[in-house]
Amino acid sequence: MELWILFGTFVTLMLIGTPIAFCLGVASFATVAYMGLPPLVVFQRLNSGMSVFSLLAIPFFIYAGDLMVRGGIASRIVAFAGSLVGHLRGGLGQVNIAASTLFGGISGSAVAEAAAVGGLMIPQMKARGYGVDYAVNVTSMAALIALLLPPSHNMIIYSISAGGKISIADLFTAGIIPGLMLAGALMITAYFVARSRGYPTEAFPGFQAVAHLAAVAVPGLLLIGIIFGGVRSGIFTATESSCIAVLYALLVTVFVYRQMTWEAFIDATMGAVRTTAMVLLIIGTAAAFSWLMAYMRVPASLVAAMNAVSENPYVILILMNLLLLGLGTFMDMGPLIIIATPIFLPVAQAYGVDPVHFGVIMILNLGIGLNTPPVGAVQFVACAVGKISVWRAMRSIWPFYGAGLIVLALVTYVPALSLWLPSVFR
Amino acid sequence: QEIVLKSSDTHPDGYPTVEAVKYMGELLKERSNGRIAVEVYHSAQLGEEKDTIEQTRAGVIDLNRVSMGPFNGLVPETRVVSLPYIFRSTDHMHKVMDGDVGQEILAGFEPHGLVGLAYYDGGARSFYNSQKPITSVEDLKGMKFRVMQSDIFVDMVNALGANAVPLPYGEVYSSIETGVIDGAENNFPSYESAKHSEVAKHYSLDEHLIVPEVLVMAKSSWDKLSPEDQALVKQAAKDSVEKQRELWEAREKESRKMVEDAGSTITTPDKQPFIDAMGPVYEKHVTDEKLKSLVERIRAVQ
Amino acid sequence: MQQTLPSGPLGHVARVLGRVSSLALWAAGFGLVLMTAMVAWQVYCRYILNDSPSWTEPGAVMLMSWFIFLGAAVGVRENNHLGFDILLYVLPHGGKRVLRMISDVVILAFGLGMIFYGWQLAMLASDAILPSLGISGAYDYYPVVGGGILVSLFTLERIALRLSGAPVDEGLEIATPEAEVELDAVDDARDARA
Ligand code: NA
Ligand code: NA
């Protein structure tokens, strides 16, 4: 009965359009009241769930991303990527993906990436005769690269949800090969779709122009090295690197590019506050929700149920992937990581799956969910930038979903893709 | 079954404290003819220690196995056992905690909505690092050690000439690995199970902290029990202590062997210079009369 | 969201709350900047000075707690929390109003819970001393109470405005907060280059 109240309230409120944070919070509140437990526990979880030092990475990386977009780092990276791969078939689509890969190396938010790269690329693609749906789909899928390449605050949320005992540096490193694979798979897909639609290529601007654009983009791109090198050489921790990213973004946009005005700085700050407050409020209420699930022993029952279905680890991994994909279509990534990690990770570990590997599987899986209606923040941004409906984007997104799912299958069943690189750095 | 006592533990399933509380539950079930049972939520499923202490005080959960550290800000008496080198050995700690001083500290929980039931072993904490074997206080000079978020521990590390770095526990492994810090300090089972032994190969048995852990019950849950059931709970908790000490000793030996087999070196420095360096720490933290007398009484126990 | 405020006392209250809201947003923004400085200081002290301050970590976390609750309350007033608005999209105007009203009542209940139980938690924790900061444990929960007060005020305001017939539910789309903010950034970036 308690479980019905918890999920019933949650689903009902969600359907009538109550903000997710409050759906989770009020469902927990109602359930605790029904069970006769002191309701203060809900508000304690709300507060403790977000009062975690490692979560500081979320406001910082989002803040850094906002500063990069407003201060001209993003636009220079797009220009550089354009000179590199614009001459390939479906040139601007390739540029979009290359730019997302570069920007993904300095930003952790797929939504910020869809806005930054999409905002610059989609209008250009429209003007050069590309279908808007194509431009939108390339943008939204390529934005997922940011989740896998370091830095990635979702990896940090995962590590915390797993009890903080998974090395964040390892998780960061583990995402690199899968992230580059996703980039490669999308570039190939973009190529074939572009060929069948007869999209043009761009002229190669010449090595001199490439060198010039590279030089202009270097101050921004250096952040990749600073974050990765700084964490790996022990100057700062993974969490602290997010703060360094903010400082560095400020430094470059104010002193090197001289594009950051006082007004843009205030806008970026307020924007980051608005975004992170909402993301973290959901994380807090999700913590209350998952506390109740633990209290009712839901994870243990689910493990038992899964064991009853099959004992084959491959089957279990498929089951978990399907479940995560299903949940990801209608829930946002952050709360899902918090709710699903304590439930699924013990199962995965019981079947011998490495927690770092499982983290990469989960991030990629839920990332695809950011790109599916009805709740898909990345898809929404890309559609809004392209000014088309989600349903129109959906008609031609399938080849790109296909690419994402192939990469997900490879990442799931070839652990070395995730685990080899961290072992090299150890 | 009429009464199910929900109990929290931050350690994973199979850990000596988790098993001891489960054992206590079995005893209770048997002795109450199945009326009273204990359900253990291990692995911090219900929250970290600071949070579950609040939950216990509010009556959300009934039992809680907690370290002494998080109580230092709440129950002043517990500060005395968190002082570095206060206990000479595990035997000394057992004698103290089984005696009057132990009872007095347990009584300190009462005004804060908690009933102290029993003490468990938490082993001895020592330093480990990635750089070099520590054989003297001088070796510690300038090294960076992660400590728990507590002023006493920060002051202790600084008094030894090293630098205390308060970091979240979850970031310790990567931080040692990358060199943000040189090492940390903990007991053998944690050193082994958190895999810190993979990145910090030098363990030095200075045993600066021998801190018992404590099993507390919510005062509100306690008051709901009949006097007979209260006696049952108290006795079962008491009987689980012996079991826990056995399990702990076995686990400690096992962990020590595991890290040694995996290539960790264990050094045993002369403890006296370490103890001598603690003067300023005691001066700063043992200020009120009650704490002073507790320190003296603990030292007097032979 | 409220371009056409009703005249009279309700409009006056709404204007005052508008100022409270922007004050809260500025405070939260200042908190974010201060937090950046604190963590940078922590890195500087450890890496350069070899002397880690123990207050930066709990201090930054407490600051974050404040700016999240303030920012979240502002988000309630600006109506841009992440939601699953499919039903709102297809329903006629009247049905939409009813559903928004239910949502607001639910949010109000949670806001009041934040005040009441946040205060209970503060009192419960008040006899403990927070490590490193050396202040009462109650400070951990004041952000919950403060955020609860603002969430409740802003929700009450919207309920009252809706009852008075003000168009508070206009312009709702299937948007996410992150999306809104980032789209805003796109526009700004384009303006900057134009
Ligand atoms: Na990234
Ligand atoms: Na989705």
Q: Does residue A396 sit within a domain?
A: yes
**Assigned domain for C175 exists:** no
Non-local (6+) Cβ contacts of C7 within 8 A are: none
* C-alpha span between A2 and A294 (Å, rounded): 13
Domain-located, residue A15: no
Predicted TM-score (pTM) of this structure: 0.87
Q: What is the pLDDT of residue C171?
A: 52
Residue A399 resides in a domain: yes
Find the DSSP H helices in B2-150.
Answer: 16-31, 49-57, 90-98, 100-107
What SS3 state is found at B64?
Answer: strand
Largest interatomic CA distance in chain B: 59
Looking at the complex, does the CB of residue C182 fall below 8 Å from at least one CB of chain A? yes
Q: Check pLDDT > 90 for residue A88.
A: no
C185 part of a folded domain: no
Neighbours of C159 (CB within 10 A): 17
Indicate whether A13 belongs to any domain: no
pLDDT in tens, B85-94: 999 999 999 9
What is the ipTM, given to two decimal places?
A: 0.90
- Whether C173 is covered by a domain: the verdict is no
pLDDT for C194: 41
**DSSP helix/strand/coil, C154:** helix
In a domain, C53, yes or no: yes
pLDDT of residue A357: 95
- Which residues form the domain of A57? 53-424
| Residue B280 pLDDT greater than 90, yes or no | yes
The average pLDDT across B224-240 equals 96
Ligand whose nearest atom lies closest to the CA of A113: 1
Task: Please name the residues in contact with B187: beta carbons below 8 A apart, sequence gap of 6 or more.
Answer: B122, B123, B124, B125, B126, B252
Mean pLDDT of A7-20: 87
Q: How far apart are CA A75 and CA A259, in angstroms?
A: 12
Report the DSSP pairing between strands B183-186 and B124-129: antiparallel
Distance CA B99, CA C65 (A): 43
Find the length of chain C.
194
pLDDT band at C81 (very low <50, low <70, confident <90, very high): low
* DSSP notation for B99-130: SHHHHHHHHTTGGGTEEEEEEE---EEEEEES
> Is residue A41 in a domain?
no
Among C38, C41, C44, C46, the residue to mutate for chain B (most B Cβ within 10 A): C46
Q: How confident is the model at residue C1 (pLDDT cuts 50, 70, 90)?
A: very low
- The beta-carbon neighbor of C33 closest among A18, A22, A269 is A269
Domain assignment of residue C119, yes or no: yes
Query: What is the pLDDT confidence band of residue A416, given thresholds at 50, 70 and 90?
Result: very high
Round the average pLDDT of chain A to a whole number and report it: 87
Q: Give bridge partners of residue B266 from the DSSP assignment.
A: B203
C residues 41..100 contacting A (CB < 8 A): 42-43, 47, 57, 60-62, 64-65, 67-72, 74-76, 78, 80-88, 99-100
- Within 8 A of A67 by CB-CB distance, chain C residues are none
Model confidence at B254: pLDDT above 80 = yes
pLDDT tens, A258-268? 989 999 999 99
Query: Which domain, by its residues, includes C23?
Result: 9-167
Domain tally for chain A? Answer: 1
Taking CA atoms, what residue in B is nearest to C61? B168
**pLDDT value at residue C189:** 52
- Residue among A365, A356, A378 at smallest CA distance from A322: A365
Pairing outcome for strands B144-147 and B213-218: unpaired
Q: Is there a contact between A38 and A60 (Cβ–Cβ < 8 Å)?
A: no
Residue A190 falls inside a structural domain: yes
C40/A243 touch (CB, cutoff 8 Å), yes or no: yes
Please state which of the ranges A374-388, B4-18, B117-131 shows the lowest mean pLDDT: A374-388
Whole-number Å distance, alpha carbon C70 to ligand 1 midpoint, is 28
Structural domain count, chain C? 1
Contact A48 B167 (CB under 8 A): no
The predicted structure's pLDDT at residue C82: 54
Confirm or reject contact between C124 and chain B (CB < 8 A). yes
Which of B47, B168, B174 has its CB closest to that of A53? Answer: B168
Using the predicted structure, report yes or no on whether residue A361 has a pLDDT greater than 70: yes
A213-228 tens-digit pLDDT? 888 888 888 887 888 7
Cβ–Cβ contact A43 with B under 8 A: no
Kind plus residue range of the DSSP H or E element containing B264: none
Q: Read off the pLDDT of each residue in C30-40 and give the average, rounded to a whole number.
A: 96
pLDDT at C85: 57
Average pLDDT in the C135-157 region?
A: 95
The verdict on residue C190 lying in a domain is no
Q: Tell how strand B63-67 and strand B3-8 pair up.
A: parallel
**Res. C184 pLDDT band, cuts 50 70 90:** low
